[in-house]
Structure 1
Amino acid sequence: METYNLLLTCVLIVFVFLLLSLLSFKNYIDKYFKQVNKNYIITPLILIGITLIIISFFSPYYFTKKQIGDTLVFDEKTGWTGDTLGGIMNPFIALAGAVFTFIAFYIQKIANDDIKNQFKIQQFESQFYEMLRFHKDNVNSLYLTIKKKIVYPKSEEIIESSVQGKIVFEYMKIELSVIYMIAIKNFVDKTPKNLLNESYAIFFNGISETYRGKHTFFDEILELESYFDNFDFDNFNKKMRDGLNFNKDIIKMLEFPLFKGHAHQLAHYYRHLFQTVKFIANQDENFISYEKKRNYLRILRSQLSNTEQTLLFYNWYSKFGKQWEDNKNKFFTDYRMIHNLFNELLISHFKLEDIFDLDNGYRKEEDRESDSLFEFQDWG
């Protein structure tokens, strides 16, 4: 074979090798470029197919001539006209046909993948909105029994009523604040975080007579509980006002059984809320991007009042709900589940800027001008 033909043959072999390599590594390349453009491979393949067809028209000339400038020859060495054209052009036409067939199947695969993806999204959203509905039901099922003492000229009466829904969190927040103030009075050497842990244990689990005598903190809480349970509101109010310096507006909010614990309501509430956030945050980002996850969680967070977010913070910071934000989960930072919290909502010992790095260490949405950890950072 002449040098020219040998060189051309080598070029074609390399071309075919590159084509086969492209097809062999298609799955790897698809995975790598999926976020950029899943149709990126179609245009090059179309160009390759067209190139093969064009080459097929010129291939008889290049494979039958001996020197550059020779005319096309059909003889017993090259094969007569049909044999020459068919034998030389057919491989290129066949390769082009294979490429276009692959393109057709690939486009169909893309369409099928889109349909499957839409179905998966529908399933995901259906489950998300069902979990959101359960969350609303959990909030609406919260209740507290309010007890008021009505004093008449010659008698007195205990009247019971109830509150239900989101307002229950307001009462709970005040009760936790009261327990924390009692802890400050009785634990002089503990850090604010340890004080919160002691307080939240009583708030969440309640207290019983088994705690009596173990510490003045427990004894004082048991004393207040006894006043309330025996409808001795005079001594209860005096203790709250004179002993703990609470004003009458706060005392008025404490007209429900105190220190009994709220685990029977909050445990289920927090478990379900945690599982809902986890369900969204743990989705594969090839399926649900980080930005879309944030959008879904904004819908969920919009259902949480500021007081709910405050109690959620206490649940985490007291270590009762430490999995909200740890080495594995970043639900408060990366996913902003307490985004609407600000210092004035918290007990004065806790400052968000001391607990969180407000500027670094958390994910932000791309192409978003401001994506602060907390809403108050954007207040100016």
Structure 2
Amino acid sequence: MKTFDKKFWIIFIPFIIFILMVIYFPYWVRDELLFYDFNDMGQIGDTFGGLMGPFIGIAGGILTFLAFWVQYKANEQQKDDLKIQRKREYLSSFETKFFELIRLHRENVTDQNYTKFGKTEMEKYQGRKVFRVIHKEFEECYTEIKRFHKIYGQSFMRNQYKNKLKSIIEKNKLNVSEEDFALIDLAYTFLFFGVAKDSEAFLTIKFKQKFNDDYFGKLVTFLQLKPKMQYGKMYNCWKYFINLNVLEMKPIFENIHTNRRVSGYEAHLNHMNFFNNLAVEKYYGGHQHRLGHYYRHLFQSYKFLFNENDLTDEEKYFFGKTLRAQLSNYEQSLLFLNSLSNLGLKWDLKPEINPITNKEIRLISEYNIIKNVPGIQVLDITYKKYYPNVEFEFEDN
């Protein structure tokens, strides 16, 4: 802030003109009144002094005003400097907290590890590579559920759940169906919790109000037939089964599901007792212990940023972009899938409300968190259909 700004000059210039006129006035009087007898000039001087006294008082008042004006501007400058200092101190404090959250996020990524059987041996994945492997497992799970859905997908949802999904779709103006949403929810939830026996009871309770019992019970059994890859012959038997025509798959699976609790039952397929697949470790063992803490921390980091009312929208977006830069493309794609499941709707599609501003906390749309997803879709799940307001990187290209 400048002390002598536009307002100052508007006042000061006329004042200078006035002073110059006052100084010149005696000479003008002298030149004009030379024909008078200067013996009478005493009276003229008294008259002049009487006339000029008020003007001199006014000039003094103006000078006093100008002195106060300068002091006022100095005080304003001091206030602005204090605001700038406080802003800098606030930003410094905020940045310290925010970059600590980023550091913890990076530690969460670094600590990720996943040992899984590859083509011929056990392989260990660490850090960001884990998310790519998990993403691949989602693709497999979703594809297999779609295959199962071709057989048993008629009227699979309960009306209450269907209406809930319809409400979310309409509120967010999405160009998708309730069925699309439900299948993504199923695939991601199975991926997250797994289909082992200790997860089955929990998942049954979780999905009881969403899907028909017969549909969900059969789907759990269907996915439990897929063993870990180290069970080579059993895994190959599953691959043979999943590639059958759906009309061939149905009777084989119906027999296994009906007799799943019968000890010693046999269901021969591809020279194997396919029924034995139910007794070994499952391919979908779950990733709750890997992803649970990861997503909770990431959500709270973005929510912390969103609720900082002393930051401008531009500053918030800058920090949000900085945190997004820590996420690999597959991390962003998995976050997209997480946000479409019942576990992650609060990220954007069913947001929380800020109690102070009464604003919806739509984190993904607000900060374009999934901007750098790989490609334009995951299988037949198109990113833009679910997040039309996100500015995706593939659109720039």
TM interval, shorter chain, is 0.5 to 0.7
What amino acid does structure 2 have at the position aligned with 1:332?
I
1:144 corresponds to which letter in structure 2? Y
Alignment of 1:196-345 (within 5 A): 196-207=184-195, 208-210=199-201, 211=204, 215-224=217-226, 227-228=227-228, 232-244=231-243, 258-284=283-309, 287-290=311-314, 292-326=315-349, 328-343=360-375
1:176 to 122, 131, 138: 138
Decide whether the 8 Å contact of 1:277 with 1:331 is kept in 2: yes
CA gap 1:209/1:296 in 2 versus in 1, 3 angstroms? closer
Identity of matched residues, %: 24
SS in 2 for 1:333: helix
Q: Give the CA deviation at 1:287.
A: 3.8
Partner Cα distance (1:206, 1:42) in 2: 72
Counterpart secondary structure, 2:5: helix
**Inter-partner Cα distance in structure 2 for 1:276 and 1:184:** 35
Report the structure number with the largest CA radius of gyration.
2
CA contact (8 A) 1:205 1:260 kept: yes
* Counterpart for residue 382 of structure 2: 351
Partners of 1:102 and 1:233 lie apart in 2 by 85
Secondary structure of the equivalent of 1:215? Answer: helix
1:346 and 1:275 map into 2 onto residues whose CA distance is 26
Taking the aligned partners of 1:101 and 1:321, their CA distance within structure 2 comes to 57
Report the Cα offset of residue 138 of structure 1.
0.5
1:242-294 residue CA offsets vs partner (Å, 9 max, x unmatched): 4158xxxxxxxxxx96433222221211122122223334444x74442x433
Q: Do structure 1's residue 120 and structure 2's residue 82 form an aligned pair?
A: no
| 80 and 378 in structure 1: CA distance in 2 versus 1, 3 angstrom threshold | closer
Please give the alpha-carbon distance, in whole angstroms, between the structure 1 residues aligned to 2:141 and 2:45: 103
Q: Is the 8 A contact 1:49 1:100 kept in 2?
A: no
CA deviation after TM superposition for structure 1 residue 346, in Å: 0.6
Instruction: Report how far residue 101 of structure 1 moved.
Output: 0.8
Contact 2:200/2:220 (CA < 8 Å) preserved in 1?
no
1:193 aligns with 2:181: yes
| CA–CA distance in structure 2, aligned partners of residues 302 and 127 of structure 1 | 17
Do structure 1's residue 102 and structure 2's residue 101 form an aligned pair? Answer: no
Alpha-carbon separation, structure 1, partners of 2:378 and 2:93: 39
Of 116, 141, 159 in structure 1, the residue corresponding to residue 111 of structure 2 is 141
Taking the aligned partners of 1:149 and 1:48, their CA distance within structure 2 comes to: 84
TM-score by length of 2: 0.63
* 8 A Cα contact 1:182 1:217, kept in partner: no
Contact 2:224 2:282 in 1 (8 A): no
Contact 1:205 / 1:262 at 8 angstroms: preserved in 2?
Answer: yes
Q: How many residue pairs align between the two structures?
A: 295
Greater helix fraction, Structure 1 or Structure 2: 2
Once the two structures are superposed, residues 161-187 of structure 1 have per-residue CA deviations (whole angstroms, 9 ceiling, x without a partner) of 642211111221122222222321333
Determine the structure 2 residue equivalent to 1:44.
Answer: 6
Shift of 1:337: 1.1
* Counterpart residue identity of residue 163, structure 1: Y
Higher RCO (C-alpha under 8 Å, 6+ residues apart): 2
Displacement of 1:42 in angstroms is: 6.1
Shift of 1:58: 7.7
Letter in 2 for 1:219: T
Deviations 1:51-73 (A, max 9, x none): 57437738989xxxxxxxx9997
**Residues 112 and 126 in structure 2, CA contact (< 8 A), matched pair in contact too:** yes
State the Cα deviation string for residues 98-124 of structure 1 (Å, max 9, x = none): 111101111222222222222222222
Q: What's the offset of the Cα at 1:354?
A: 2.9
- Secondary structure of 1:280 counterpart: helix
Matched-pair contact (CA < 8 Å) for 1:52–1:95: no
Residue of structure 1 in register with 2:210 after alignment:
none
Q: 1:174-230, CA deviations, whole angstroms, 9 ceiling, x for partnerless residues?
A: 222222223213332462211011122222223334359752101122233xx449x
2:191·2:287 contact (CA, 8 Å) conserved in 1? yes
